[in-house]
Structure 1
Amino acid sequence: MARPTLQDVLNGLQAEGHLAPDAGERARTTMEVYRRTDVATPWFVKALAGFGAWVAAAFLLSFFGCVGLWNEEALLAVLGLIIGGGATLLRRSTRGAFMEQLALALCLAGVAMVQTGIAMMTESEIAPAVIQLVLGAVLLALFPDAILRFLMALGMAGAAVFLLWKGLGELGMQLGLLGGAVLVHWLLLEQARLRRGRWGELVGPVAFALACGVMGALLTLNFAGAFVRELRMHGISTPDAVLTLGLTALTLYTAWRVMKELGLEASGVAGAAVFVALGVTALMTLHTPAVITAVGMMVLGFHRRSAVLLGLAVAFLLAAGGWYYYDLGLTLLAKALALTGSGLVFLGLRLFLLRRFPVAAAEVR
């Protein structure tokens, strides 16, 4: 079957009442502008322009260092605000690979200068985290760049988890990770509705930043054993099973929402099979919350047809599964039998669902 043209898609949407009568002309004008400005420039030219912009920003910052600015904490923070504000105005008023990358580099440098200056003046660990939350929220709203929004959302999530850890210890850290996972699932489940709103452009960068942050943090906590022990000595200590149960409840809710949108009865045989499989997975990996987290991200990736999120979730699941295998207190033969048995169970579940609900399975694919 041949791919439909852009005109065919626009005509179909207009016939269904999803587009205004003049939307076709505006879409063609937008595509023409995009073709002339972005597609017409070869990728290597954009790469060289971006590299030149980062080099220019590095030379500018090195000049400030040569004149001794890094020893003046207050002036450093003020200059960082000026550079960040100027970079934001530059990004909003200009286009082109060089100017966009220059504005991005200068804005990131400005944020780092403000945080460094505030940290040196206050000699506090909390002040930079608070500054990151404030500046990140401002730049999310004002700086129209997906890369910076991704980085700012990631930094804000890290700052929020750090503040919760400082206040509540391990319990706060787990609450922060669980809250980040809840926000990821909510953003992606409500993606279609949220994208039509005022802040629709933030949905994608924020969701992917939180997904990378949550999965990366859980994977780091698994591998950094000595560091984790130091974290648990601070504040309220809670077992990993509590976080796993919370993430399992979130994954079960997501699976229920996905089945509901696909027209499957969650209270029927298919729903029971899926919920039992997820529950067994959680019970088998109570002390490795990264596994059920990766499963939930895979569900979201399949449901939203996001190849990037699906790839991240698969890579994360392999890493988490490898750590789970290594951490099992069993002999090699028992580990092999456990992995083989679990694989056969899930393959059998897939075969059962495909045979019992072939129409729904075809729609998912």
Structure 2
Amino acid sequence: MEAESQGGARAVSGVLAQLVAEGLLDAHELATATTWMDQQRTESPTPWYIKAFVGISAWLAAIFIIAFLGMVGLIDSGVSMVLLGIIFGVAALALKWMAMDSIFGGQLAFAVSLAGQGLLIAGASMLTENMTATALVALGLEALLFVAYPDTMHRLISVVAMAAALVVLLLEQELPDGIHVIIALFAVLAIYLWRNEVYLRSSRKLAAYWSAAAYGTLLV
């Protein structure tokens, strides 16, 4: 398999060199394509259905965690829910960054993060008793996690959650027609992301966010 991969890479490199020689590809485009190819060789992408099962299992684990905390009486108020949500969020981020290559550690961090998000948002709702404020909290939280939590599936969930929070905000402000604007904006963003896939994925700063943003905007 590795030999076939190396052979394919050499063949593509030969095609790129020929395109440069014929003037169909400039030096900048060649560098961008080469960088993207190097990233593809070093990455070990997980099939989408495996990621989907991981996401579902994380949601189930998060529900069990919250149910357990409720049974032992640790989430009996909005304040306790917010505090536990913050603690869980920090713990999940720390665990994920420390166990980047651990499948178990990654899944545990995923579940703890989702539980923390649920607790924090629910706690904010109980404290404010205001859906607009709760949606703003959710929007800010998911935007922060999209940047800070280094996992594609987690970031994809954050994109969908941000879209849901925006919809809630519009409905609370009695602006249901604004939902069409949100859908249009996400569609434009999706087109931009997919049309510029090679450039964005070859960027050191943006490559980590491309997959989640591109697939998340399609789901929305």
Q: What is the TM-score when the length of structure 2 is the normalising length?
A: 0.73
Quote the Cα distance in structure 2 between the aligned partners of 1:63 and 1:186.
43
Q: Is 1:151 aligned with 2:157?
A: yes
- Displacement, 1:67? 2.1
Quote the Cα distance in structure 1 between the aligned partners of 2:214 and 2:138.
18
Quote the Cα distance in structure 2 between the aligned partners of 1:28 and 1:171.
41
Structure 2 contact 200–206 (Cα < 8 Å) conserved? yes
Structure 2 contact 124–134 (Cα < 8 Å) conserved? yes
Q: How does 1:46-85 map to 2 (within 5 A)?
A: 60-85=65-90
Alpha-carbon spacing, 1:138–1:69, altered in 2? closer, same or farther (3 Å): same
Amino acid corresponding to residue 99 of structure 1 in structure 2 = G
Q: Is 1:101 aligned with 2:107?
A: yes
Structure 2 contact 84–116 (Cα < 8 Å) conserved? yes
Quote the Cα distance in structure 1 between the aligned partners of 2:60 and 2:131.
31
Paired position in structure 1 for 2:23: none
Percent same amino acid at aligned positions?
28
Q: Which of 181, 187, 200 does residue 207 from structure 2 map onto?
A: 200
Alpha-carbon spacing, 1:207–1:77, altered in 2? closer, same or farther (3 Å): same
Quote the Cα distance in structure 2 between the aligned partners of 1:148 and 1:87.
12
Q: How does 1:76-155 map to 2 (within 5 A)?
A: 76-94=81-99, 95-155=101-161
Q: How does 1:221-300 map to 2 (within 5 A)?
A: none
Alpha-carbon spacing, 1:11–1:99, altered in 2? closer, same or farther (3 Å): farther
Paired position in structure 1 for 2:11: 8
Alpha-carbon spacing, 1:75–1:191, altered in 2? closer, same or farther (3 Å): same
Structure 1 contact 164–176 (Cα < 8 Å) conserved? no
Alpha-carbon spacing, 1:146–1:80, altered in 2? closer, same or farther (3 Å): same
Amino acid corresponding to residue 96 of structure 2 in structure 1 = R
Q: How does 1:178-189 map to 2 (within 5 A)?
A: 178-189=184-195
129-138 or 182-191, which deviates more:
182-191
Alpha-carbon spacing, 1:163–1:56, altered in 2? closer, same or farther (3 Å): closer
Q: How many residues align?
A: 198
* Structure 2 gap segments, 5+ residues each: 21-26
Q: How does 1:283-362 map to 2 (within 5 A)?
A: none
Quote the Cα distance in structure 1 between the aligned partners of 2:10 and 2:93.
36
Per-residue CA distance 1:206-242 (angstroms, 9 max, x = gap): 22222222xxxxxxxxxxxxxxxxxxxxxxxxxxxxx
Per-residue CA distance 1:247-272 (angstroms, 9 max, x = gap): xxxxxxxxxxxxxxxxxxxxxxxxxx
* Structure 1 gap segments, 5+ residues each: 214-365
- Displacement, 1:142? 1.1
Quote the Cα distance in structure 1 between the aligned partners of 2:169 and 2:61.
35
Quote the Cα distance in structure 2 between the aligned partners of 1:58 and 1:81.
17
Amino acid corresponding to residue 166 of structure 2 in structure 1 = A
- Displacement, 1:63? 3.4
- Displacement, 1:80? 0.6
Paired position in structure 1 for 2:180: 174
- Displacement, 1:54? 7.2
Structure 1 contact 136–152 (Cα < 8 Å) conserved? yes
Aligned residue for 2:75, secondary structure, equals: helix
- Displacement, 1:55? 7.2
Alpha-carbon spacing, 1:27–1:13, altered in 2? closer, same or farther (3 Å): farther
Q: Cα RMSD over matched residues?
A: 3.6
Per-residue CA distance 1:157-215 (angstroms, 9 max, x = gap): 111122123325222222222222222222222333333332222222122222222xx
Alpha-carbon spacing, 1:29–1:200, altered in 2? closer, same or farther (3 Å): closer
